[in-house]
Amino acid sequence: MGGACPALRRGYACVSVAVDIAWYNLAMLTQYLEAAMRLAQYEYLTEDGVYYGEIPPLAGVWATGKTLEDCQQELREVLEEWVALRQQWGQSLPPVEGISLTQVV
Protein backbone atom coordinates (compact mmCIF):
# COMPACT_ATOMS: atom_id res chain seq x y z
CA MET A 1 0.00 0.00 0.00
CA GLY A 2 1.33 3.37 -0.90
CA GLY A 3 0.31 6.47 -2.70
CA ALA A 4 0.10 10.13 -1.94
CA CYS A 5 -2.27 9.76 0.96
CA PRO A 6 -0.52 8.88 4.26
CA ALA A 7 -3.77 7.41 5.55
CA LEU A 8 -3.60 4.71 2.87
CA ARG A 9 -0.31 3.49 4.31
CA ARG A 10 -2.09 3.08 7.64
CA GLY A 11 -4.99 1.21 6.04
CA TYR A 12 -7.51 4.08 6.08
CA ALA A 13 -9.40 5.48 3.14
CA CYS A 14 -8.69 9.02 1.98
CA VAL A 15 -12.28 9.44 0.86
CA SER A 16 -13.23 10.76 4.30
CA VAL A 17 -11.04 13.82 3.74
CA ALA A 18 -12.95 14.68 0.56
CA VAL A 19 -16.26 14.08 2.34
CA ASP A 20 -15.22 16.37 5.21
CA ILE A 21 -14.30 19.09 2.72
CA ALA A 22 -17.61 18.63 0.88
CA TRP A 23 -19.57 18.92 4.14
CA TYR A 24 -17.59 22.04 5.06
CA ASN A 25 -18.35 23.56 1.66
CA LEU A 26 -22.03 22.67 1.99
CA ALA A 27 -22.19 24.20 5.47
CA MET A 28 -20.52 27.41 4.27
CA LEU A 29 -22.80 27.59 1.24
CA THR A 30 -25.85 27.13 3.46
CA GLN A 31 -24.65 29.90 5.78
CA TYR A 32 -24.06 32.18 2.80
CA LEU A 33 -27.54 31.54 1.36
CA GLU A 34 -29.24 32.04 4.72
CA ALA A 35 -27.32 35.27 5.34
CA ALA A 36 -28.26 36.57 1.89
CA MET A 37 -31.94 35.73 2.47
CA ARG A 38 -31.85 37.74 5.71
CA LEU A 39 -31.01 40.78 3.55
CA ALA A 40 -34.05 40.24 1.33
CA GLN A 41 -36.53 43.08 1.02
CA TYR A 42 -40.14 42.56 -0.05
CA GLU A 43 -42.98 44.75 -1.17
CA TYR A 44 -46.47 44.19 -2.49
CA LEU A 45 -47.01 45.60 -6.00
CA THR A 46 -50.64 46.66 -5.92
CA GLU A 47 -50.95 47.30 -9.64
CA ASP A 48 -49.61 43.84 -10.51
CA GLY A 49 -51.13 42.01 -7.54
CA VAL A 50 -47.84 40.26 -6.71
CA TYR A 51 -45.09 40.40 -4.16
CA TYR A 52 -41.65 41.53 -5.30
CA GLY A 53 -38.50 40.54 -3.46
CA GLU A 54 -34.85 41.37 -3.96
CA ILE A 55 -31.51 41.07 -2.24
CA PRO A 56 -30.06 44.56 -2.84
CA PRO A 57 -26.35 43.77 -2.41
CA LEU A 58 -26.61 40.99 -5.02
CA ALA A 59 -27.30 42.56 -8.39
CA GLY A 60 -29.89 40.68 -10.41
CA VAL A 61 -31.26 38.58 -7.55
CA TRP A 62 -34.99 39.30 -7.52
CA ALA A 63 -38.27 37.42 -7.80
CA THR A 64 -42.04 37.79 -7.73
CA GLY A 65 -44.85 35.63 -6.40
CA LYS A 66 -48.60 35.69 -5.83
CA THR A 67 -48.05 35.29 -2.09
CA LEU A 68 -45.18 36.39 0.14
CA GLU A 69 -44.26 32.73 0.70
CA ASP A 70 -44.20 32.09 -3.08
CA CYS A 71 -41.98 35.13 -3.54
CA GLN A 72 -39.61 34.01 -0.78
CA GLN A 73 -39.34 30.52 -2.26
CA GLU A 74 -38.75 31.86 -5.76
CA LEU A 75 -36.14 34.32 -4.45
CA ARG A 76 -34.27 31.47 -2.71
CA GLU A 77 -34.23 29.51 -5.99
CA VAL A 78 -33.01 32.55 -7.94
CA LEU A 79 -30.28 33.09 -5.34
CA GLU A 80 -29.11 29.47 -5.58
CA GLU A 81 -29.00 29.67 -9.39
CA TRP A 82 -27.18 33.02 -9.23
CA VAL A 83 -24.49 31.54 -6.96
CA ALA A 84 -24.13 28.46 -9.19
CA LEU A 85 -23.82 30.53 -12.37
CA ARG A 86 -21.25 32.91 -10.91
CA GLN A 87 -19.22 29.94 -9.72
CA GLN A 88 -19.51 28.25 -13.12
CA TRP A 89 -18.41 31.44 -14.90
CA GLY A 90 -15.50 31.95 -12.51
CA GLN A 91 -16.94 35.18 -11.08
CA SER A 92 -16.40 36.05 -7.45
CA LEU A 93 -19.22 36.24 -4.94
CA PRO A 94 -19.51 39.31 -2.76
CA PRO A 95 -19.21 38.65 0.98
CA VAL A 96 -22.55 38.59 2.80
CA GLU A 97 -22.64 39.35 6.53
CA GLY A 98 -18.91 38.58 6.68
CA ILE A 99 -19.29 35.21 4.93
CA SER A 100 -17.08 34.79 1.89
CA LEU A 101 -17.23 31.84 -0.47
CA THR A 102 -14.17 32.85 -2.47
CA GLN A 103 -12.17 29.76 -1.56
CA VAL A 104 -15.09 27.50 -0.70
CA VAL A 105 -17.35 27.41 -3.75
What angle do helix axes 68-88 and 15-38 make, rounded to 10 degrees? 130
Mean pLDDT of the chain: 81
CATH of 6-88, one of 3.30.365.10, 3.30.200.20, 3.30.160.250, 1.25.40.80: 3.30.160.250
Instruction: Output 57 or 103, whichever has higher pLDDT.
Output: 57
- Residue 37: the pLDDT is 98
Rounded to two decimals, the pTM is 0.75
Burial class (CB in 10 A: 0-12, 13-18, 19+), 59: exposed
Residues 7-43 have pLDDT tens digits of: 444 444 444 434 444 555 888 899 999 999 999 999 9
The percent of residues in the chain predicted with pLDDT above 70, rounded, is 73
Q: How far is CA 95 from the centre of its chain?
A: 11
